[in-house]
Amino acid sequence: MATLAVDKERLAISRLYARFGFGPRPGEFAESLSRGLQSTQQSFLVKPDLALIQSQLKVPDVEDIGPRPPAGSTASNEYSTRLRNQNRELALWWLDQMATTDFMLNEKMAWFWHGHWATSIDKVKFALPMYDQNQRLRTHALGNFATMSQEMFLDGALQIWLDGQDNTAKAPNENLAREFMELFTLGVGRYTEEDVKALSRIFTGYVVARTSGALTFAPRRHDSSPVTLLGSTRSFRAAEAVEYLVDRQDCAKFISERIWYRFFSESKPLPQSFAGQGFEDRNIDELVSTFINSPYLSEADLPMVKSPVEWCIAICRAFGLVPSQFSNPQTLLNHLSKMAQVPFLPPSVGGWPAGGAWLTSASAQFRLNFSQYLIKSIDLAQLREVPRADRINYLKDLLGIYQLSPRTEDALRAVVDEPARLILLLVNSPEYVVGA
């Protein structure tokens, strides 16, 4: 592989915006270049003010809509419409947050955790429990992982998703217990099948109200007999078991692995130097800070593919588009759906794929169509005012792109007179779809 001149500072800043944010807003990238990497890193890591984040959030129109009225009635049809509208509203609401937030890292981490505790409205059905889960993920996005894990265990949507209420003393269901160790806290191979059985008995006894996600504990359904979990034999309460799992060194390693996988490389293994460092107290902000301040931020050969949501939101931020304000926002969701990534609809409890998964010919085609749709909403006047010779560099900085190959520069120069075509090609270029 030939290389272009290396500019570590630009590379690191480009990665900060693309990976630890949702892409720069107009002017932000150039401003970061001028004040330097260190200052940019610091501004990403400013401790978020949760009250301020919440105060800036719109409140989506989701509420407990209760049980379905008798079929065939007008009320039943209205109920279906309301359910559908709430679910659509919720997805657009979150896309709006991503596209407009001032707290990029916090929102990006909420998105990361959504893929980690991946729960789908496909099975949960109701918007309210999904919204509550989303707020939980946002509140603890950079908080303490032990606290987050306790709250997520008691999360109604997650309990519904993983059949928590089918897990009773009489008939244990291993679903939640298994995922809790395998996908949420420890990682595969760091527990035995006996531990899965033990944990599922500890987790028995919870009942969820489907439409609200409200969780209650029913002692009669709970199995309180002593079990052996990862070498410790006692009568665990669920909260004690969660604490016990999160305390393990394997948990620090696992969460570090997941952050590495989503922010640095889906194919290269976690470097030894990160095996839990910075996560001694299970503080997520400290762990993320360790990654952001590491030399890997500017190390070559760690490209990452923008997932469809990340790609779409980065374009929205650069051009000031707000998803819910598109003339028919459902079309935007349809495009995301074709690209196989809609918020609140992960394909499975393992979250979305990464890397080359998004680079099929089918996705290239859907991406082209999607960008044609997005560009219709972009005000091109500003780009027209930029002298032709400067347009490519202007867009590079606007979108926070590290570098362009001579191949892409050539393709862009050929259409530099036509702003819409220029943007279309740039956002579909290998250098934009795959961040350096």
Partner 1 sequence: MDTLSRRLFLKLTATASVVGGAQVLSLDEIASAAITRPLPENTPILVVLTLYGGNDGLNTVIPYKDGLYYSLRPDISYPQEKVLPLSDGLGLNPSLVGIKSLWDKKKVAIFRGVGYPNPSQSHFSSMAIWQSGQNNYQLRSGWLGRWVDTQKFDPLLAINLGSVLPPLLVGEKRSGSVLPLGGYIKPVGSLVRDCSRLSLASPTDSPLAAQAASSLRDLLTVSAELSPILSSPTPAPLELPTINGGNAGGDNQLSQQLDLVSKLINAGAPTRVWTTSLGGFDTHANEADAQAALLSNVDKSITRFFSQLSQSTRGKDVTLLIYSEFGRRVVANASAGTDHGTSGPVFVIGDNIKGGFYGDQPSLKSLVKDNLAVTTDFRDIYASLIEGILKTPATAILGGWKGRVKSLLYKQ
Residues that bind partner 1 (CB under 8 A): 1-4, 68, 70-72, 76, 122, 161-163, 173-175, 178-179, 182, 188, 301, 303-305, 340, 347-350, 353, 355-366, 368, 405-408, 410-411, 414-415, 421, 424-425, 428-431, 433-434, 436
> CB 418 → partner 1: shortest distance, Å?
9
Cβ nearer to partner 1, comparing 249 with 348: 348
Cβ nearer to partner 1, comparing 36 with 347: 347
- Mention every residue, 6+ apart, whose C-beta is less than 8 A from residue 413: 392
Q: How deeply is 382 buried, as exposed, middle or buried, from its count of CB atoms within 10 A (0-12, 13-18, 19+)?
A: middle
> CB 412 → partner 1: shortest distance, Å?
8
- Report the relative pairing of strands 434-435 and 304-305 from DSSP bridges: antiparallel
Question: Are the beta carbons of 428 and 395 closer than 8 angstroms?
Answer: no
**For the residues of 373-427, what is the DSSP string, one character each?**
HHHTTS--HHHHHS-GGGHHHHHHHHHT-----HHHHHHHHTTTT-HHHHHHHHH
> CB 225 → partner 1: shortest distance, Å?
22
> CB 246 → partner 1: shortest distance, Å?
21
Cβ nearer to partner 1, comparing 267 with 325: 267
Cβ nearer to partner 1, comparing 139 with 363: 363
Cβ nearer to partner 1, comparing 382 with 403: 403
Element (H, E) at 289: helix 284-292
Cβ nearer to partner 1, comparing 87 with 106: 87
Question: Are the beta carbons of 159 and 215 closer than 8 angstroms?
Answer: yes
Cβ nearer to partner 1, comparing 320 with 373: 373
**Own/partner pairs, 285-288, CB within 8 angstroms, 24+ separation:** 285/45, 285/47, 285/142, 285/143, 287/255, 287/256, 287/259, 288/20, 288/45, 288/105, 288/109, 288/142, 288/259
> CB 300 → partner 1: shortest distance, Å?
9
> CB 434 → partner 1: shortest distance, Å?
4
**For the residues of 56-82, what is the DSSP string, one character each?**
HS---S-----SPPPTTSHHHHHHHHH
> CB 178 → partner 1: shortest distance, Å?
7
Residue 24 token pair: 């720069």
